[in-house]
Amino acid sequence: MSINWLILFIGGLFETGFAVSLGKAQETSGKSQALWLASFAVCVAISMYLLFKAMGGEKAIPVGTAYAVWGAIGALGTVVAGILLFNEPITLWRLFFIGTLVMSVVGLQLVSGA
């Protein structure tokens, strides 16, 4: 795995961070809400920067592949966080479709040539 794939993975985790921050901001008010919104802004900035970095350099990941994988990592992380932090339901169909998402990400990495 190249450094760009690692950068992209970390960027996807920060995407999860900004989604979780928005969810937590919805549950709070006042100073706590402001801190969650600040967390959102920081996570968005870091996530976008890491996506940008993964698409450049010697082992650049093609933009279509990078964006799809970044979004999928963020989506997967957000679903898991929703289950753990927001008591969202765990159903067979949710697990099935998350599994297909993971398989798609692995497939894109295998065929990207990066």
Q: What are phi and psi of 113, to 5 degrees?
A: 75, 5
Burial class (CB in 10 A: 0-12, 13-18, 19+), 78: buried
pLDDT at 113 over 80: no
Q: Average model confidence (pLDDT) for the chain?
A: 92
The boundaries of the domain holding residue 86 are 3-111
- Put residue 27 in one of left, alpha, beta given phi > 0 → left and psi -120 to 50 → alpha: alpha
> Poorest-confidence range of 58-67, 74-83, 101-110?
101-110
DSSP tag of 10: H
| Six-digit token string for 113 | 């040539």
Q: How many domains does the chain have?
A: 1
- Give the residue-averaged pLDDT of 56-74: 91
pLDDT at 104 over 80: yes
- pTM for this entry: 0.86
